[in-house]
A = this chain, B = another copy of it.
């Protein structure tokens, strides 16, 4: 069974997170479940990877956070929600273009 290694996925974690935040603001635990679902169980992001990505992207201005107190919207635990900024949307768009280019290039070095 082939698995996706961290060196290979490196550089796409941010893109996956932003893809989800393009749809709606969300929080860590939820995002990790969505990544698993969207990838049909083929990729599960590590907790530490996810939360360090939040820190990094917030620092870079790609996302913003706010804390939702328990019970505020029917949930039981305090959560930190993240939403994508305009700069984040730009960055996401750029990452998508970069992916198309990378795909094209790498494909030339692959044998089936």
Contacts and interface: CB of A to CB of B under 8 A. Distances in A.
Interface of A: 2-5, 7-12, 15-16, 19, 22, 38-39, 42-43, 92-94, 96-106, 108-112
B2 A109 contact: no
Given A19-B111, A96-B112, 8 more contacts: A2-B101, A3-B101, A4-B102, A7-B11, A12-B102, A15-B106, A15-B110, A103-B103
Nearest to A39: B105
A5 B91 CA distance: 13
A98 B12 contact: no
Contacts of A103: 103
A88 to B, nearest CB: 13
